[in-house]
Amino acid sequence: MTANRQEIQIPVERGYLDGTVVTPATTIPGVLFVHGWGGDQAQYMERARQAAALGCVCLTFDLTGHARTKQEQDTVTRETNLGDVLAAYDTLVVHPLVDETSIAVIGSSYGGYLASIVTSMRPVRWLGLRVPALYLDDGWNIPKRALHKEHDLVAYRRRIVPANENRALRASADFGGDVLLVESEHDEIVPHTVLASYLQAFWRAHSLTYRVIDGADHGLSDEGSQRAYTALVINWLAEMIGGRRAGSRGEMPGPIAR
């Protein structure tokens, strides 16, 4: 962990001694977890617990249209859910223990899609995406559930999408932090071509870690896949945070002005 140094003078009989007080930094990284469509914050609770053990402040939350507000699922829009993630980010970053220059955002599927867009609106140092989804930019303010009727998402996700054609990919192309990108081997909802589109977009990333969970489906329905993903996230966070505490990087990348 980084430390603060203060030069002091220690009085003695013939004058003073030069000394240095070294104290631990008082702030620590913050990690925001964003669940996918149809999920809830409970899915990330164990990962948040393990990330906290690394020395992080973690925040999980339920998107509008999920858990307590599930009755709104038929009407909630991407605009509302993006606002949810931004509100959660803003809550995390003002926590008194959080280092505002060391924020990680980790999202799955729809949550990964939203997390990518957030990097264009808030400073993010580390971005973890598991099977991030893609949606057409059109119809931003129509109910999210209606997108599957309004758009041929199956066909859209089966082609490589250029970064300039999609809001989440444009944000990814501008992102200069560290990225973890995780694919499920047998994902029928977010196929490999979607991951390839994100891989192609992250050309400005400071580092890019790409992993495939063997035998996993989209929802990580078996216990082994859940454990594998948790290990990937925690090991990657440990590496990123360890490098930060060793002083390997400067300022956290912020949104690129357009």
Q: What is the pLDDT of residues 185-207, one digit of tens each?
A: 999 999 999 999 999 999 999 99
Task: Encode pLDDT of 17-61 as tens digits.
Answer: 788 878 766 788 999 999 999 999 999 999 999 999 999 999 999
Length of the chain: 258
Q: By three-state DSSP, how is residue 29 classified? A: strand
Query: What are residue 21's DSSP bridge partners?
Result: 6
Task: Confirm if 188 and 218 have CB atoms less than 8 A apart.
Answer: yes
Domain edges within the chain: 26-245
Residue type for position 126: W
Task: State the chain's mean pLDDT as an integer.
Answer: 92
> What pLDDT does 89 receive?
96
Distance (Å, whole) CA 173 – CA 169: 6
Closest CA to 93 of 125, 117, 116: 125
What is the model's pTM? 0.89
CATH domain 26-245 topology: Rossmann fold (3.40.50)
